[in-house]
Amino acid sequence: MNKLSKTVLCVVLALALTGCGGGGAKKPEAAKPAETYTIKVANFYAADHPINQSVKRFQQTVESKTGGKVKVQNFPNSALGSEEVFIDSVKKGTVQMGIPGTMLSRDVPAYSIVEMPFLFVGWEHARKVLTGPIAEEMNKPLIEKTGMRLLGVAVNGMRVISSGKAVNNYDDLKGLRLRVPNVPYYVEMVKAFGGVPTTLPLSEVFNALEQKVVDGQDNPYPTVRASKFYEVQKYMLESNHMFSPANWVINEKFFQSLPKEYQAIVVDAAKDAIQHNWEISMKKDQEDKNFLQEKGLTIVVPDKSFRDKLQESQKEVYTWFYNKYPGTKELADKIRAVK
C-alpha cells in the first residue's frame, strides 16, 4: 500500500505541474521591456554658450516628460564634426538632431537671406521675423529637400568683428585677413569690405588667431567669449553687420519613428528651449560685451559715417545674393517691411 500510495502521489504531482493532456495553465511569458529612444544633438558652439544652455533645458524637459524613455545626448563644440559634417549626419540619420547656422542654404537657398548683411535693424526685428510666418514660408522645402524637419530658429546673434589690430575707420578693414565659415556670401561680404576672407571651421579659429594665420574673425559677443577669442584678440568692431540664426533640425525619419505622444513632447520642448534661448541671448549679448571689455578688449562702435560706408559697400553683395539665390529679393523686401 505504501508503494501504491507513493505512485499515486507522484502521478498527481506530475499532473498538477504539467497539466493533463496539455490543458493546464501555461507558464506566463516575460514582459517585453518598453522601447527607448536616443536623440544625439550635434552643434559647434562652446559648452557654456547660450545654445547649449538651451539644449540642456530641452534635454531635461524631454527626459522628464517621457519618463526617461527618450534620452537626449548633447555633443557641443564640434564633437561630432564641423557644421558641414553634422548636417550630413542628420540628413543620414546617424545623428538625430543638429543646430547648424545658415549653411542649410546649400540645400535650401532661401535660408541664405537671413544672413544678408545689414538686413535686420535689431534684435526685436530679427525675433519677429524668425519666429513668425516669414520663417515658416522659408522652411517649407526643408523636409522634402533634406529629410530634416525644422523645430525652430534660435539665436547665434548679431555678428561683430574681432581683430589683432584696431579698426577705427572703414579704411582699416582693407587687407584685414578675416576668418569666415565656408559659406559663399560670407566670402563676398568680406571682399566687399576690402578684407581678405579665409574659410575655416569654428573649431580651428582659436589656433588660427593665436598663430596669426588670420588677423580676425566675425561672431556674436557670446561666441567670442565662450570660444575665448579674447585671449588672442585685442580689439572689437561693433559692426552688427549680420544676424546669425541657430536652426534646430531633426531627422524626419527618426521623428516619424517616435510615438505620437513623444513627437509632441519633442516639438513642445524645442519651442520652450528656443524661446528660452532668445530671452537669455538678448540679455547675455550685453553681459558678454561688458565681460570682454573687462578682459581688456577695446570695443569700437562705428559712427554714422563709418556705418554708412559699411552698408554702402554691400550693395554689390545684395545683387550677388539675388542672382545666386532666386527668390531672395522678394523675401528681403518682406523682411524689411516687418515693423
pLDDT of residue 258: 97
159-204 confidence digits (pLDDT tens): 999 999 999 999 999 999 999 998 889 999 999 999 999 999 988 9
Contact call for residues 301 and 82 (beta carbons, < 8 A): no
Helix or strand run (H / E) with residue 219: strand 216-219
What integer pLDDT is reported at residue 217 of this predicted model?
Answer: 98
> How much is the pTM?
0.81
**Positions of the chain with pLDDT lower than 70, given as ranges:** 1-34
Output the pLDDT for position 158: 94
Give the C-alpha distances (Å, rounded to integers) separating 221 from 12, 295, 306.
83, 13, 20
Model pLDDT, residue 13 = 43
Could you tell me the three cell numbers for 197?
Answer: 576672407
Q: Check residue 34 and give its pLDDT.
A: 58
CA distance 70 to 50: 23
Question: Tell me, what's the pLDDT at 112?
Answer: 84
Rounded to whole angstroms, the Cα distance separating 71 from 336 reads: 41
> 3-class SS at 172?
helix
